[in-house]
A and B are shown apart, each in its own frame.
Chain A
Amino acid sequence: MKWISLIPVVGVGVLLLFAAQDFPEWGDPQSPASQSPVASHFINNTGVDTEVPNMVTAVLADYRGFDTMFETVVVFIAGIAVLAILKGSGGRRRGTRRAYEVEAEPDIIVTHTVRLMVPVIQIFAFYVLAHGHVSPGGGFQGGVVMGASFILVALAWDLDHALVRMSLPRCMAIAAAGIIIYAGIGFLSMFLGGEFLDYAELEKVLPVSREMARYHAMLGVEIGVGFTVTSIMFALYANLSTEGRLKGGL
């Protein structure tokens, strides 16, 4: 039965290899993708329009802001779906343990190291988020690093210890707040006379030039993305490791 799967695989492979011949050489500066007016417009105008040195951040949060907003919504919906699938589904009955699960105190060496590490990781997450304009980084990466710090707490002690700091309702509230921040900045710029997510209009409320208004609005947008990604990553871990019971687990 397995060999039948080879037929579509080989078919697709032959087609793709045949197409691969027609691609431009790797790294060719004259390739259509590199010569496209859109790409060169972004490279040229990012500095003039937004004063953000990192073009990727500028394109992500400003030029393609609408796209990124709904990507964030997708992440949020995935988190809600995981909650909806696993919430109260039970799994093993409460109280039963597996053979290899051992009753153990949280290890003192691990907990103390984590106690040292977590603040540094969280500060690094803020750095990644806020410094994303100048260096690689941004809302998604900072949010993931922030979520990882909570997961680290859950791994070193147990899930309850992490849930005291970030309970699941709080988690979802923060996730929703992230999207509201993002959309709120968009609507604010709409009410100030521009279009949706047209950050330049924010100069009317911020004491800066049009370019710098876009710069700072991008930071706000990234903070919104960071909120959502942080809490959804932690919610994913908390639900998957305990089958939605939020007790015990890894």
Chain B
Amino acid sequence: MFEDGAIINELLIERLNYIIYVVLLLIGLHAMISKQNLIKKLIGMSIFQTAIILFYVSIAVKDNATIPIYKTEHDPHGDAAKAAVLDSNRSGEETKAFYAPVMLKPEETQQYSNPLPHVLMLTAIVVGVATLGLALALCLRIQQGYGTVEEDELLVKIERSDARYSQSPLAKAKNRRRTQSRNTRKPRTSVKSTKSIGKSAKSLESRDSTKTKKTTSKSNLSQPKKKPASTSRKPRSSSSKVEGSKPTTPKAPAKKASEKTRAPKKKGAE
């Protein structure tokens, strides 16, 4: 296979479609991994998807075959069938027997290309655009929450908001209460949350930790006072904390979003 330039013939001439499908797939994959912009990632996903569809359609091709629609002579409703019915002065039963489509012979089957991959890919394209729309909606939501769709800026902002969240005494008190309520998982969660926060956040926290230790009793005392005010926001933050391994709860955006979701609701109620 590999000697006297046969591989060039094999790959570049007989199987050029497959080579191009691999190349397009790799372009899409590379874009999905390395591009920073989320929209660029989605474009890469689109290219990846079309590459796979190209592969399937290439499989369906047959030499000397037409599109998978019956030619007029095989067509149950074509001009040929109608003409045959009109020409022959047959009785009703005979016409019916004549008119009924016949099974194709094996050599006639070879005249049509394979319809099965076409069907599979037809629905894949439409579902592809639906998923693209969904992904774009998520991009818009990210833009609303963080003000950017660039991945590197996004990571910085998430880290910063995490740090801000872990600093606030309210969150600390809440965290402590949560971990107390389920004692067994206490070490794991605390380690995780500090780890995922960036270096700056860690240093901030270590600096703060002495302060918070001192004020522990105080905050415990003041808890009942704070509680009624925070009840409305409590389920949101706690649920989002449980969701991901990273505590990605940007406080400010969540607050903003909650306000905004409330406003149109009122309008709708009116």
Contacts and interface: CB of A to CB of B under 8 A. Distances in A.
CB–CB under 8 A between A and B in the complex?
yes
A105 interface: no
A8 B256 CA distance: 40
A153 to B, nearest CB: 19
Given A51-B76, A55-B69, A88-B264, A240 B141 contact: no
A138 to B, nearest CB: 8
B122 interface: yes
B114 A39 contact: yes
A28 B77 contact: no
B144 A90 contact: yes
Interface in B118-155: 118-119, 122-123, 126-127, 129-131, 133-134, 136-138, 140-141, 144
B109 A5 contact: no
A33 B59 contact: yes
A59 B29 CA distance: 32
A191 B178 CA distance: 54
Contact of A85 (B67, B131, B138): B138
Interface of A is mostly: helix
B98 interface: no
Interface string B1-40: 1000001001100111111001001100110011000000
Contact of A240 (B10, B131, B133): B133
Given A21-B1, A86-B137, A55 B68 contact: yes
A88 B61 CA distance: 48
B115 interface: yes
Contacts of A136: 67, 69
B76 to A, nearest CB: 4
Contacts, number: 199
Nearest to A144: B126
B208 interface: no
B106 to A, nearest CB: 8
Contact of A78 (B10, B113, B133): B133
A89 B254 CA distance: 11
Interface string B89-127: 000000000001111101001101111111100110011
A207 interface: no
Interface of B is mostly: helix
Contacts of A33: 59-60, 114, 117
B237 interface: no
A118 B8 CA distance: 52
Contact of B123 (A2, A13, A38, A67): A67
B134 A78 contact: yes
Contacts of B104: 43-44, 47
Contacts of B63: 27-29
Given A29-B63, A56-B119, A240 B140 contact: yes
Contacts of A42: 115-116
B136 A240 contact: yes
A112 to B, nearest CB: 30
10 closest Cβ pairs, A-B complex: A90-B260, A78-B130, A5-B33, A47-B101, A5-B34, A236-B133, A88-B264, A20-B18, A71-B123, A55-B115
11 contacts: A5-B33, A5-B34, A9-B29, A16-B22, A20-B15, A26-B17, A40-B109, A48-B101, A51-B76, A53-B69, A55-B68
